[in-house]
A and B are shown apart, each in its own frame.
Chain A
Amino acid sequence: ETGVTQTPRHLVMGMTNKKSLKCEQHLGHNAMYWYKQSAKKPLELMFVYNFKEQTENNSVPSRFSPECPNSSHLFLHLHTLQPEDSALYLCASSQEVALAGPPDTQYFGPGTRLTVL
């Protein structure tokens, strides 16, 4: 395993529900990421956190709300989602966000398969 765990692995929710996705990394990393992998598009970066601070929001709609209480945990709070939000949501971590030089290697979790009805 990669050292990055995600729960739940599968989630079905209605458009009016509120749910949260959880990610935990056991690698001692300081950067964590949320990605969306949908059936029709390549893997898309959503959010980046470095030392608990958000450093990137890739124009993600406000119905997705990330939270990073510490360097080991990352949440994605979901509310009022749309059917087109159905996708595999992947969490990743890296040593830190490399501000200079090449990017640090990112280690991915297995993802949460989300279905919005």
Chain B
Amino acid sequence: GENVGLHLPTLSVQEGDNSIINCAYSNSASDYFIWYKQESGKGPQFIIDIRSNMDKRQGQRVTVLLNKTVKHLSLQIAATQPGDSAVYFCAEAFNNAGNMLTFGGGTRLMVKP
């Protein structure tokens, strides 16, 4: 699948547990952060985003937390399901920058039944 060869951090969780995926971003001036999910054989799929003037945003079963002090972003998935198994990427962007995204290296989430 995608990213074979890239030494991705891997998180292995039991089905039903909560998952926390972390991302350290590079630019303290970034205005906007996005989480993408990439399943095997598919392209990245938007999950949730957050603006830099927020520190938390919730979606359906997912929560993104932003800590600008240490340039850290996390994605929390509640009640992890087998369908959540994928590679998760964070991306950062600036306002007024023409949709330019800078992606992180990704984390592989494996859900054990």
Q: Do A and B bind each other?
A: yes
B interface residues with partner A (beta carbon < 8 Å): 2-6, 31-32, 34, 41-46, 49, 51, 89, 93, 95-101, 103-106
Q: Tell me, in angstroms, the Cα distance from A65 to B96 when the chains sit together.
A: 27
Closest to A101 in B: B95
Counting chain A CB atoms within 10 Å of each CB, the highest count among B32, B100, B105 belongs to: B100
The DSSP consensus for interface residues of chain B is: loop
Asked if B43 and A31 sit within 8 Å, CB to CB, the answer is: no
Measured between beta carbons, the chain B residues less than 8 angstroms from A108 are: 43-45
Interface residues on A, range: 35 or more
Asked if A2 and B45 sit within 8 Å, CB to CB, the answer is: yes
Q: Tell me, in angstroms, the Cα distance from A90 to B41 when the chains sit together.
A: 11
Known A39-B4, A42-B106, A103-B32: A90·B98 in contact at CB below 8 Å? no
Measured between beta carbons, the chain B residues less than 8 angstroms from A90 are: 43-44
Measured between beta carbons, the chain B residues less than 8 angstroms from A42 are: 89, 103-106
Q: Which residues between 86 and 117 of chain A lie within 8 Å of chain B, taking CB atoms?
A: 88, 90, 92, 94, 97-111
Q: What are 12 A-to-B residue pairs whose CB atoms are below 8 Å?
A: A4-B43, A39-B3, A41-B6, A43-B89, A48-B99, A50-B98, A55-B98, A92-B43, A98-B99, A102-B32, A103-B32, A111-B2
A interface residues with partner B (beta carbon < 8 Å): 2, 4, 31, 33, 37-45, 48, 50, 55-56, 88, 90, 92, 94, 97-111
Asked if A110 and B43 sit within 8 Å, CB to CB, the answer is: yes
Closest to A94 in B: B99
